[in-house]
Structure 1
Amino acid sequence: MPSTAVAIIGLACRFPGAASPDEYWRLVRDGRETTQSIDIKTEFDANFFALSPREAAAMDPRQRLALELAWELFEDAFLLPETVRGEQVAVHLGAMNDDYALLTLRDASRNLDHHSFAGTSRSMIANRISYAFGLCGPSMTVDSGQSSSLIAVHLACESLRSHAAPLAIAGGIHLNLADETAMMETEFGATSPSGHTYAFDGRADGYVRSEGGGLVLLKPLRAAIEDGDRVHAVIRGSAIGNAGSSSSGLTVPSVSGQHDVIRQALSNAGLDRGQVDYVEAHGTGTEVGDPIEAHALGEVFAGRRGDPVAIGSVKTNIGHTGAAAGIAGLIKTVLAVENAAIPPSLNHDSAEIDLGALGLRVNTTLTSWPVVDHPRRAGVSAFGMGGTNAHVILEQAGGGDEVGCGRGGGDRGSVAWVVSGRSGQALVNQAARLGEWVGQRPELGVADVGWSLVSTRSVFEHRAVVVGGDRGQLVDGLAEVAAGRPGAGVVVGRAGAVGKTVFVFPGQGSQWLGMGRELYGRFSVFAGVFDEVVAELDRYLRVPLREVMWGGDAALLQSTEFAQPALFAVEVALAGLLREWGVVADFVVGHSVGEIVAAQVAGVLSLGDAARVVAARGRLMAGLPVGGVMVAVAAGVDEVEPLLGAGVDIAAVNASDSVVISGEEEAVGVVVDGLVGRGRRVHRLAVSHAFHSGLMEPMLEEFSRVVADVSVGSARIGLVSNVTGQLAGSGYGDGSYWVEHVRKPVRFADGVAAVESLGAQVFIEVGPAAGLTVSGAVLVKDRPEVDCVLAAVGQLFTQGVEVNWESVLGGGRRVELPTYGFARQRFWLGDSGSDIPDRPRVTAPEQLQQLAPPERHRTLVELVRLHAAVVLGHPSGHDIDPELRFQDLGFDSLTGVELRNRLKLHPDLARLPLSRTLIFDYPTPSALAEHLGELLSHNDSGESPDDKIWSLLRTIPVDELRRTGLLDKLLVLAGQPEESPQDPAVSDDVIDSLSPDALITLALNTKDENEAL
């Protein structure tokens, strides 16, 4: 294999009857013929590519198709598009004709806007890919007529060989949009009246107009092998050339021009004519072209040893796809080499020329690839109407039959399938496509599908996680997502700007026999941490903890002596597992004994000291006389406290309407009776002792002695104290603290409020469910533990918490998956895209000034959304997400100015200093609305900001303006380059010559100087 060999590591295509390479292979393999129009010419997922409806409608559909194909190309290559942003990736794309520009200009008064020039420029087809994906390598649209796309492939290979880029996208797109172009081709006399392509057949009567697009992702073979890429096939060599001057005419093919380029490609590949098994011919089915091509091939292959060379033409399947004809033939041949089969060339009965004498035969049936003593090889030709020709030599990839890499997933029990989309509809599409894909491929392992979803697919804000133990469960879960009715094992959400994350560690009463055993058997990280914790605890326990937790004596585990150490072991191990999966807490909060877990996880207590505190605490509490009760009450502390008598204490304040009382049974009963009489709900807890009450005092002296020498470290993360209900400060965590902790009430509600005030939004119970949060728990009794923990991290993920899913799933093989489920809408010239009147009004004049700040902000958000919808061409302000960046909504600098100008039409906003860079300074509709609200608040005096600047400038001496640099700026704005000599203040004529906009611009650009003055 020459060092210049190029690997094809990705494929994407859209041809008649085939929306993907897989469908395309089935079409040609099965010998089907179709030239139906591609049905997505008018449809596009503009939101996915952050394009406004207005811009999408102005864009040539070839640009739109190029974007979608490029995304699918990266997905086919198992490459995350975001990883190549900013890299030197080349883009070479073949295209001819400009039908959409012609359609635009048919009714220019209706169709033209500022997006039209770029939207209809042929050069922008390739550039659109480079811009959207952030690719910095060579980027060009190639037009050599019908050979354009194969010329583009050759040029892309040259970019790789010359080290201009390490990766290249190549191919072509051709769409038939204007009747005028069809008329010209018919008048030219080359189109088929029969509607069939008779390549190399006596019935040849012209080509059949068709359309489509295809792309390949190219990489130097050596680099592809080193990087472990899946290689579809190898481009061993290629060549391009022109026939030069011909007496037959500009548009007539040349035998010499064609055989010269084929010979050159063979030479560049280091091969001779006997080492090629098949040729995908240009094969247009024209009376002039096919005989010339046959003789050119004959001059290369006639007289070689062995059987005649098989030839065929994909144009017999899908017609002539114009500038995309070469890539159509190339992708067909790549798939044939990959599948070791040569598809039939259709509509061939007999030829007027003796193909056998030329060393050729048309392959008319599906044929296994010939058994040869070399890798499977094929040539692909494409010839342009003006004589620019291309030929590419393809070769089978060494060991390229294997798609997967890494170890197989095997049967691991429950797994998670993660799907996401840039919109809710796209998420539905993704789930439906994946369910159908897996349902049709029983050979796919569920673990491998899960692994491929998280390792080869990008993540978007609309998310779903489906958890299940077998294919049926998972496919059913996908169906629920697709139907919009999530059930058990399915989590759906939209990730936003998530706040800080809190791990909540439950206390005693939430434990059950066998907890943690399934996790121990599945996750090595959990097992490792659990073993370490248990080893420390067992030093202080009379029965090994593992025997208690996973034995058959439930009563023993319910004993405080073992319940508290068991909870500690499971919760510390769970925290370690979550940390391994990339889920990191900003704050930790424990409930009662759970706080010891929090202190250990935060680094305040070493594992050894924490184990000693927990074991002593449980043992000493268990040694107290039995008796005493704890009752949960659905009432606030202010209502409960006045009812307490001797022998009853507040044990915990869990929420504003949830209190636990604890103490002697008779005394607690009196309080409970009173609360029940008031209609309050009560629930007696299943505990052996009255924790956090006076009944704990007999253990405190001994406990104090045991924990007296506990060492205290600094907290690595925010840690909340049950005793104070606030973040732990200096002196936290020593022996005396844990003694006090036993007796004082658990101020859990205050702790939650404290972290919420610091930005906490996501709470997760890291332990057996105790109902402490509404967000859910990592473990739930009577549910499979692996399912629970996967669903729990899935819940976090759908909220926007980062999760390292590759670590969660632990590896597998890459397998083929369906490409992105674009949520397409119609975009075409003349479609208004909006039913909004030109100047919408949200509030009456001056009403904004009178609104209270919260209502004003809501109104301003709706105002911005509505005007943004008008500017972008959306039918409603509801289509504008107020938290998305303007650039992600499809705004650019020009539409940003248009939005600014529309906002100034509102009477209350007309005199506000709104800069032309408004959408960049305040990057979301919500942020802009907040800024507008602040300006309105500062403008309540009635004097407009430009009036204030005007007045200020009249009072500032020239020396002060000169010292701060403001004078030069004023004079430039006024168009007076020379400084006025000795004016005591800025003259009225200078001020009067400045427009309000100029003054506002000056103020915005010289904010620091103004503040100094």
Structure 2
Amino acid sequence: MTVFNDADDARGSDRNDQDVTGIAIIGMSGRFPGAPSVEALWDLVCEGRDAFLKLRPDEIEDAFTDEERAAANYVPARPQLPDVDMFDAEFFGMFPREAAVTDPQHRVFLEVCWEALERAGYDPHRYPGLVGVFAGASMPTYLINNVLGERAKVEEFTSNYQIGCFQQIVGSVTDVLATRIAYKFNLRGPAIAIQSACSTSLLAVSQACQNLLTYSCDMALAGGVSITIPQRRGYIYQEGGMVSPDGVCRPFDEQAAGTVFGSGAGIVLLKRLEDALRDGDRIFAVIRGYGINNDGSDKIGFTAPSVEGQADAISSALANAGVDPSTIGYVECHGTATPLGDPIEFGGLRSAFAEAGDKRQLCALGSVKGNVGHLDAAAGVSGLIKTALALYHAKIPGMANYQRPNPRINLDDSPFYIPASTTDWPATEGPRRAGVSSFGVGGTNVHLVLEQAPASQGNVDDVARGPHILPLSARNEAALAAMRANLRDHLQANPALPLSQVAHTLQTGRRAFSHRTAIAANDIEQAIERLGSERVASGVATERPPIAFMFPARARNMSAWARHSTAANRNSPAGLTGARSCSGHL
């Protein structure tokens, strides 16, 4: 399926013989502190900005006392994810009460999964293959603080949750995150909840890859979400602990003293590379291999990291991908900025890259935690999205909040360097390659090896003659008007888009809802003009009512038929009007 996108000259290898095995990333979506989309995240990274803000006293919603907040080690900082209280329940076919008791993690994850499918140009209801879901979330604090609330409800939950509180908790438990997506989107592939603390979302991606390679599904949504309620709260700093003393995360820097936890969500849509090339999908990057293991007990404590465990996971991924470590130009690190974690992670990288020899300045290191903080269950997929965009745009991203290396990290005697700003990624003899690490509390380590997408085999020139029909549909008139404005703005920002591909995506890669409009245009300029016109006609589509055949019969039989016909109409999912239960957006 061809999707409309900007043709980036930097993406795609010059080698037409590049291996077509692997897993293609064909869609991405996310919500991050300071960045409401993957494009905004990339801008944040490229500009070296971060989302760390101190909270004013009148903004704080935590349970600390005034005395505790006045203490020197109280840090009133946490990266915020705005609008988590906003949700279009009607769009996803949910009643207001159901939406109210559904965790914001589930609600935001519904939004980003829908967006990832739309961005890739796929309507799951029309896609003939199996689509899987692999995902995880953080602790359901919304359930604890907002849904249950009172002590009596907590006791009822713990003693009789299967009966008394099931309707209240089913919208919050992490077990149903993946199956909720499958139910709402009619996805029939494997729907599996993944949980491994900080490495949850990257582990979900690896399991999605495994299921694709074994043909358990044909596409897969994989990622994670972490939104803790309330968001506007501080924390208590302890020297040598996990959190930062000043509310700023500085991975691998000499001033690194702890991480900063925040809220966010990320999802990638995956497909076997050969299938993605065949279908003309936009490919951001290719997953060539992955390694997964656990530290076991050979470390100083349950929450402590392990050099050997991390090194083995990275080495396994390189072996699985069949690539030489000297061909890796960038590694997105776990990068918690803790005094213990960063040196151990660097030691694991050095061990895994030992075969690279004595080369220096070979591989750049980075961590998105310097921009948005530690997103817990969404941390790994956030780093994956950043790295996929780095390969797509051929840029080496700089490390935010980095000045000088941690004194316990010897960069000079290693193949690594840490760029302070974003630079061009020079062309290499083969395709550009990168690694992504995510290490969970308890020792589940995951590493992925990524590669730039093969060169496009198709011609992006808009050779098809117009006029082209651009259809739009939504659940209501307000949403439809917003879609028109969104499409117009998108075309204005990307005037080089092939209009025939835009039309194809809108016709085949979008769900058709009840409120509809369409324009016909010969080129982008005409499409922009007509989308902005107030004379565009719209209407409400209705499905045909069921057909009944009537035959002469006695009154008793006619009465029975009438009762049966009425019941059939009443129980029909579409009812008499055929109005759909969801709306669409661009």
TM value normalised by structure 1: 0.47
State the distance in 2 between where 1:95 and 1:317 align: 21
Larger radius of gyration between Structure 1 and Structure 2: 1
1:13-28 counterparts in 2 under 5 A?
Answer: 13-28=30-45
8 A contact 2:138–2:226 mirrored in 1: yes
1:219 maps to a residue whose letter is K
Change (3 A) 1:158 1:467: closer
Change (3 A) 1:2 1:446: closer
Match of 1:244 in 2: 296
More helix by share: 1
Match of 1:57 in 2: 100
User: Does 2:327 align with 1:310?
Assistant: no
State the distance in 1 between where 2:518 and 2:86 align: 29
2:391 to 337, 341, 344: 337
Change (3 A) 1:235 1:28: same
Match of 1:731 in 2: none
User: Does 2:86 align with 1:43?
Assistant: yes
Cα offset, 1:29, TM superposition: 1.7
User: In structure 1, the residue corresponding to 2:537 is in which secondary structure?
Assistant: strand
Match of 2:309 in 1: 257
8 A contact 1:171–1:215 mirrored in 2: yes
1:34 maps to a residue whose letter is A
State the distance in 2 between where 1:479 and 1:374 align: 46
Cα offset, 1:98, TM superposition: 1.6
State the distance in 1 between where 2:523 and 2:461 align: 19
Cα offset, 1:120, TM superposition: 1.2
1:30 to 47, 53, 62: 47
2:477 maps to a residue whose letter is G
2:538 to 479, 492, 510: 492
1:373 to 423, 429, 447: 429
Change (3 A) 1:499 1:148: closer
State the distance in 1 between where 2:475 and 2:231 align: 36
Match of 2:382 in 1: 328
State the distance in 2 between where 1:83 and 1:178 align: 39
User: In the TM superposition, what whole-angstrom CA distance separates every residue of 1:501-525 from its partner, at most 9, and x where no partner exists?
Assistant: xxxxxxxxxxxxxxxxxxxxxxxxx
Cα offset, 1:235, TM superposition: 0.5
User: In the TM superposition, what whole-angstrom CA distance separates every residue of 1:820-845 from its partner, at most 9, and x where no partner exists?
Assistant: xxxxxxxxxxxxxxxxxxxxxxxxxx
Change (3 A) 1:186 1:473: farther
2:571 to 917, 921, 925: 921
1:346 to 385, 389, 400: 400
Match of 2:324 in 1: 272
User: In the TM superposition, what whole-angstrom CA distance separates every residue of 1:551-606 from its partner, at most 9, and x where no partner exists?
Assistant: xxxxxxxxxxxxxxxxxxxxxxxxxxxxxxxxxxxxxxxxxxxxxxxxxxxxxxxx
User: In structure 2, the residue corresponding to 1:49 is in which secondary structure?
Assistant: coil
Cα offset, 1:348, TM superposition: 1.0
Change (3 A) 1:295 1:187: closer
User: In structure 1, the residue corresponding to 2:513 is in which secondary structure?
Assistant: coil
8 A contact 1:418–1:463 mirrored in 2: yes
Match of 1:207 in 2: 259
1:76-91 counterparts in 2 under 5 A?
Answer: 76-84=119-127, 87-91=129-133
Match of 1:99 in 2: 141
8 A contact 2:358–2:414 mirrored in 1: no
Match of 1:909 in 2: none
1:787-798 counterparts in 2 under 5 A?
Answer: none
8 A contact 2:285–2:388 mirrored in 1: yes
2:300 maps to a residue whose letter is S
User: In structure 2, the residue corresponding to 1:210 is in which secondary structure?
Assistant: coil
Cα offset, 1:163, TM superposition: 2.2
User: In structure 1, the residue corresponding to 2:462 is in which secondary structure?
Assistant: coil
8 A contact 1:89–1:138 mirrored in 2: yes
State the distance in 2 between where 1:252 and 1:308 align: 29
Change (3 A) 1:466 1:162: closer
User: In structure 1, the residue corresponding to 2:276 is in which secondary structure?
Assistant: helix
2:510 to 457, 464, 480: 457
Identity of paired residues, percent? 39
Cα offset, 1:56, TM superposition: 0.9
1:363 to 412, 419, 426: 419
Change (3 A) 1:203 1:47: same
State the distance in 1 between where 2:217 and 2:522 align: 44
Cα offset, 1:428, TM superposition: 1.6
Larger relative contact order (C-alpha < 8 A, sep ≥ 6)?
2
User: Does 2:448 align with 1:392?
Assistant: yes
8 A contact 1:294–1:355 mirrored in 2: no
Change (3 A) 1:925 1:340: closer
User: In structure 2, the residue corresponding to 1:355 is in which secondary structure?
Assistant: coil
User: In structure 2, the residue corresponding to 1:115 is in which secondary structure?
Assistant: helix
8 A contact 1:417–1:449 mirrored in 2: yes
User: In the TM superposition, what whole-angstrom CA distance separates every residue of 1:776-819 from its partner, at most 9, and x where no partner exists?
Assistant: xxxxxxxxxxxxxxxxxxxxxxxxxxxxxxxxxxxxxxxxxxxx
Change (3 A) 1:348 1:924: closer
State the distance in 1 between where 2:474 and 2:138 align: 33
1:898-909 counterparts in 2 under 5 A?
Answer: none
State the distance in 2 between where 1:460 and 1:271 align: 46
1:382 to 438, 449, 458: 438
1:857-896 counterparts in 2 under 5 A?
Answer: none
2:215 maps to a residue whose letter is H
State the distance in 1 between where 2:139 and 2:238 align: 15
2:447 maps to a residue whose letter is H
User: In structure 1, the residue corresponding to 2:91 is in which secondary structure?
Assistant: helix
Cα offset, 1:160, TM superposition: 1.4
State the distance in 2 between where 1:254 and 1:436 align: 49
TM value normalised by structure 2: 0.79
State the distance in 1 between where 2:470 and 2:281 align: 23
2:110 maps to a residue whose letter is L
User: In structure 2, the residue corresponding to 1:459 is in which secondary structure?
Assistant: coil
Cα offset, 1:455, TM superposition: 3.2
Change (3 A) 1:451 1:160: closer
State the distance in 1 between where 2:471 and 2:573 align: 30
Match of 1:1006 in 2: none
Change (3 A) 1:179 1:311: closer
8 A contact 1:378–1:393 mirrored in 2: yes
2:361 maps to a residue whose letter is D
State the distance in 1 between where 2:519 and 2:169 align: 45
Match of 2:113 in 1: 70
Cα offset, 1:101, TM superposition: 1.8
Match of 1:680 in 2: none
User: Does 2:247 align with 1:195?
Assistant: yes
Change (3 A) 1:181 1:187: farther
User: In the TM superposition, what whole-angstrom CA distance separates every residue of 1:612-640 from its partner, at most 9, and x where no partner exists?
Assistant: xxxxxxxxxxxxxxxxxxxxxxxxxxxxx
8 A contact 1:234–1:396 mirrored in 2: yes
State the distance in 2 between where 1:362 and 1:316 align: 13
User: In the TM superposition, what whole-angstrom CA distance separates every residue of 1:59-102 from its partner, at most 9, and x where no partner exists?
Assistant: 111111221111111112222221237x5322111222121221
8 A contact 2:461–2:498 mirrored in 1: no
Cα offset, 1:228, TM superposition: 2.7
Cα offset, 1:19, TM superposition: 2.5
Change (3 A) 1:415 1:154: closer
State the distance in 1 between where 2:540 and 2:202 align: 42
Match of 2:24 in 1: 7
8 A contact 2:294–2:309 mirrored in 1: yes
User: In structure 2, the residue corresponding to 1:372 is in which secondary structure?
Assistant: coil
8 A contact 2:198–2:379 mirrored in 1: yes
- RMSD over aligned CA atoms reads 3.0
User: In the TM superposition, what whole-angstrom CA distance separates every residue of 1:137-168 from its partner, at most 9, and x where no partner exists?
Assistant: 22111111100001111111111122222221
Change (3 A) 1:306 1:264: same
Match of 1:162 in 2: 214
State the distance in 2 between where 1:397 and 1:435 align: 29
Cα offset, 1:391, TM superposition: 0.1
Change (3 A) 1:204 1:424: same
State the distance in 2 between where 1:470 and 1:373 align: 39
